[in-house]
Amino acid sequence: MTSAFDRRTLLVGLLAGAALAGTGIAVSPGSGVPRSAPRPAPPPRPLAVPPLAPSTSDGGVRTFRLTAAPGSAALLPGAATPTWGYGLPFGGPTLRAARGERVRVHVTNRLPETTTAHWHGMTLPAAADGGPHQPIDPGATWSPEWTVEQPAATLWYHPHPHGATERHVHRGLSGLFLLDDADGPVTALPHRYGLDDIPVVVTDRTFTADGAFDEEHRSAHGLVGDTVLVNGTVAPYLTATTARVRLRLLDASPARSYRFARSDGRPLLLVGTDSGLLPAPLAVPDVQLTPGERAEVLLDLEPGRPVVLRSLPQDLGAVSGTERSAGASDTLDVLRILPADVLEPAPPLPEVLPHEPGPDPAAVTAARRLELGDDTIDGRTMDTGRIDAVVPAGAVEVWEIANTHTRPHNLHVHDARGQVLSAAGRDVPAAERGWKDTVYVAPRTTTRVLLRFGRHTDPHTPYMYHCHLLYHEDRGMMGQFVVVEPGGRAGPVRTRAGVGPHGGGHHG
Ligand code: C2O
Ligand code: CU
Ligand code: CU
């Protein structure tokens, strides 16, 4: 009885709170974020879970197909939102593969313009990376292929066309790419996809009066919305049937950061970061993610007792008072979790997790310093014909990333995984050193990260490093590096290789 009452109270409360926010989810008074046109509050809806992408075995290669196409999504009651998606109106299916597997993805472009498909967090040959140098023209199919050679992690995929990434992602193009270890999912953790292992792809949008995504009103950070979508669901709730759930959190927003916490004040159990599991579960009060970052957290639940995953106000360390327009002062209800009255019990929490030790600091062969400025890195904007750095295959390097600017930025490095050594003058303790490929750098601070690069060499095809606030990236806050044999040199940049209107060809 109590729980039924709680649940009704919760829904009523949700509706009341939503009414205050115009389109939906709580936006704090005074938020500097562009506001959606007023409309009736959207009713709570069950969280959509993206389907697992089917695959075929093609000569031992696990083969997926993705098609990027325009569509229309019923995100708000009584409105159809024009969207782009990968076989879904918004978002894309979840790709899943295991370490050691050979994978191929046929990506077909049915959009009215050129796109790309980038596998964020993946160690792979540069020609398969899907950055600006692997364009897929309208009507073409691009078919990259590689071998998964990294541990279990929550990766994702999204377009990366130079200068247009924010628009393509904002219209709805992104999906998850889950990696398992060679022996399958970690069974000590909740691992039943959609049942107790839940994708939570968090984005934000502002809606116009006719229900379209607002692509016009941008702050200095880019497109920041007043309405949260999880897996493309506005006002989502999750009905839980197990006493422990694992949430795979991805900040897929163009510019907004989140500080995730439980509404009941209990800690989150952090088990994974961008590109791997932690050595052991870590109880933390909250988890902050900036665009592109991921975290895997466990929530222990009580029968019939709802809990809300919230985003709390954050200190992004902005110097110039621009935090409000980044949404940093907002409190957001991200996902309501409604546990059933009877829950399947959870096994004891594992004391250790399958964790790959970090790069060996003794193996460091180079230290680089990067300066993030106002839409620049090291005082320059992106030039697709310029190679900014040459990295020997398999190198371990320290990247010292200094944000010399007054606004928040982060840095994502392709084909690399590593651990944060220090951030804003604080050393990161070993227990918190999760595997990362995207790191936050607060204004006027320096983040030091130990990175291990992949072993695939190609002197002609660059990988990217960039701010993952997509507007900044599009404006040129990006550089290029090639991975070469030790002692090798960078060649001239090769671009548009093997992609044509008839497509289908894998190029090397
Ligand atoms: Cu998630 Cu270079 O991108
Ligand atoms: Cu990436
Ligand atoms: Cu930036």
User: Does 355 fall in a domain?
Assistant: no
**Does residue 134 contact residue 161 with C-beta atoms inside 8 Å?**
no
| Cβ < 6 A, ligand 1 pocket | 118, 120, 158, 160, 292, 412, 414, 464, 466, 468
Identify the residue whose C-alpha is closest to ligand 1 atom 3.
120
Give the whole-angstrom CA distance, residue 238 versus residue 246. 12
User: Does 351 fall in a domain?
Assistant: no
Q: Is the pLDDT of residue 404 over 70?
A: yes
Q: What is the pLDDT of residues 96-151, one digit of tens each?
A: 999 999 999 999 999 999 999 999 999 999 999 999 999 999 999 999 999 999 99
pLDDT band at 337 (very low <50, low <70, confident <90, very high): very high
Measure 424 CA to ligand 3 centroid, in angstroms: 17
Measure 183 CA to ligand 3 centroid, in angstroms: 38
Q: How far is CA 278 from the centre of its chain?
A: 18
- Note the pTM of the prediction, 2 decimals: 0.93
Give the whole-angstrom CA distance, residue 187 versus residue 491. 46
Q: Is the pLDDT of residue 31 over 80?
A: no
- 308 and 218 assigned to the same domain: yes
Bin 316: left if φ > 0, else alpha if -120 < ψ < 50, else beta.
alpha
Write down the number of H helices and E strands in the chain.
Answer: 3, 33
The lowest-confidence range among 20-24, 181-185, 237-241 is: 20-24
Ligand 1 atom nearest the C-alpha of 465 is 2
Mean pLDDT for 173-200 is 97
Measure 330 CA to ligand 1 centroid, in angstroms: 26
- 106 and 200 assigned to the same domain: no
Ligand 1 atom nearest the C-alpha of 118 is 3
pLDDT for res 24: 42
pLDDT for res 317: 83
User: Does 4 fall in a domain?
Assistant: no
- 54 and 153 assigned to the same domain: yes
Give the whole-angstrom CA distance, residue 413 versus residue 454. 11
pLDDT for res 58: 86
- 92 and 166 assigned to the same domain: yes
**Does residue 235 contact residue 308 with C-beta atoms inside 8 Å?**
no
Ligand 1 atom nearest the C-alpha of 464 is 2
pLDDT band at 496 (very low <50, low <70, confident <90, very high): low
Q: Is the pLDDT of residue 395 over 80?
A: yes
User: Does 2 fall in a domain?
Assistant: no
User: Does 93 fall in a domain?
Assistant: yes
pLDDT for res 127: 97
State which amino acid sits at residue 335.
L
Q: In terms of DSSP H, where are the helices of 41-125?
A: none
